[in-house]
Structure 1
């Protein structure tokens, strides 16, 4: 297995993933990033460290984080965009959105989540995937399409307001290329044309029954790169390491970007997975444990 990159958190400027009431100036987040970045580098200097993908794409937020001094501990800046579903900009604006971030950093920019849902019409998703590929392949080093599978409605989405968001909430359940019943949508055929150049982003829930099917589909499609997550909160569940081992072993044939995120409720300033931790070093220690287990440094890596 190749863990080529480790992402530190997910969408920290989205209140569905980091609670701004607990950390209004992102200073605790910056400390969390700095500690985790150092920990990952110590565990394996060969693993690329990625700042949790920002959503919305916001240069001023990135500058604010930089002012706290944490960007020295990351190698890549990541962005997430969903212009046909949630963002208030056109899909054709993708090159400008990338340029906006490049204007305030000298680090590479990756698009670690981009997607178009089929909520309104499956034909819209086909168009969105094709246009995204045209605009981003060759423009940024790495792109990850969100996602392979639809999110089953009964699982619920990670968002603050749920049904109160109206149709925008229900879009969460239509972002996949494959329906909950396992049948492919028309956009899957379009994705197959670019699978070797555009990775997939797929979250796997604790003991996710879709894991083996995902591996089979990705091999069939020719996908080479996958972004997924290992949850700090899940690490306190029964047999968590057993599940993590199974997940990472199943993904052994792909180049993996692993996302570390989600605060255990009992360790948060507030008892919620979006809360800053009372002690950010606990998150850094989790990152160390995961890198040492799934991306251990070799003699050559340490020497380099």
Structure 2
């Protein structure tokens, strides 16, 4: 529940960021279209250039979809918080970029994995089944009762206080249980214990696999985000150079539109990667069991 609530919050922030990028891209492409249209009216460019600039202004098409995804993430967050869409936290509504990830702890990884509910359940089940073996083994012992008896009797040949004698003797009685049934129960308990041990081993292996996958996916996406960030920076420079040269008359409009399209695609890809990385970090949180702020590194 904590992980999915976090995911919904991060999705809302990520889609808000992607929406802002799409709106900025639309404004940039629309401004280029406005300038080309003004040039066409002034007679410096033809109608073909205007239509080509209009065709390049496609960033607006992504806005409705991103708005819907942003609203869906907010509604999901409200549902997970047990509230109505009217009570969505203001912080989620105003968030425009996913927050930085919490640093992973360094230390005993086993203490992290033991926070996972599936491993805790498997561990308790194994402990319970192991305890049943001891209970079943106890049934092999006979039922024993230990008591005593006292007899007072008179010895007529002895006079005085010595005429009373006291005798105590232990009484030991026992009965054996149905040994075959008890041993069958032991074998059953041992089999159940073996099954629980196998289930526990499987749960541990599954947890390790999920941690490895989550770490790998998050690391690779982080690397991809860095590459996309560099591509976006270079695309911005290329677009700035193309715009300056176009105004100077050294390049044509097509060069500007190509550079602009590359820039808009790079910004959109970077925003999508940021959203994916946020979700992968939640997967990593879940695979490690979460709650590591309480763990001393």
TM norm. shorter chain > 0.5: no
More strand by share: 1
User: Bigger radius of gyration, 1 or 2?
Assistant: 2
More helix by share: 2
TM-score (norm 2): 0.22
TM-score (norm 1): 0.21
